[in-house]
C-alpha cells in the first residue's frame, strides 16, 4: 500500500453481527411499529367503505323514490 498504511474495512465482523442479529426486543418493537402503522390504514379503509356504502344506498333510494313517483303521477312533469 502507498504510504505504508494497511487497508482496514469500515465495518468489523462484530459490528455487522450486532446490526443484523435480531434480538427478541428488537423484533417486538418492529412488530409493534408495523401494527400501529397498518391499523391506521385499516381505520381509513373501514371509514371509506362505510361512507361509500351509505352514499350508494342513499342515491339508490332517491332514484327508486323518483321512479315510483313518476309511475304514480306520470304527467307530473308535463303539466302546465
- Residue 48: burial class (beta carbons within 10 Å; 0-12, 13-18, 19+): exposed
Question: Is it the case that residue 3 has pLDDT exceeding 80?
Answer: no
Q: So what's the pLDDT on residue 47?
A: 86
Residue 17: C-alpha distances to residues 7, 11, 13, 14, 21 (Å): 21, 10, 6, 5, 6
E strand or H helix at 23: none
Q: From CA 62, how far away is CA 54, in angstroms rounded?
A: 12
Mean pLDDT (whole number) for 57-62: 89
Residue 10 pLDDT: 73
User: Against a cut of 0.75, is the pTM above it?
Assistant: no
Which tens digit of pLDDT belongs to each residue from 16-56? 677 666 677 777 888 888 888 777 777 788 888 899 999 99
> What's the pLDDT score for residue 78?
56
CA dist., res. 63 & res. 57, Å (int): 10
Higher pLDDT, 46 or 1: 46
Amino acid at each position: 500500500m502507498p504510504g505504508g498504511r494497511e487497508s482496514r474495512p469500515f465495518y468489523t465482523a462484530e459490528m455487522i453481527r450486532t446490526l443484523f442479529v435480531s434480538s427478541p426486543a428488537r423484533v417486538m418493537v418492529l412488530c409493534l411499529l408495523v401494527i400501529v402503522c397498518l391499523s391506521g390504514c385499516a381505520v381509513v379503509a373501514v371509514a371509506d367503505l362505510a361512507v361509500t356504502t351509505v352514499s350508494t344506498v342513499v342515491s339508490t333510494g332517491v332514484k327508486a323514490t323518483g321512479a315510483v313517483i313518476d309511475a304514480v303521477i306520470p304527467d307530473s312533469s308535463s303539466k302546465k
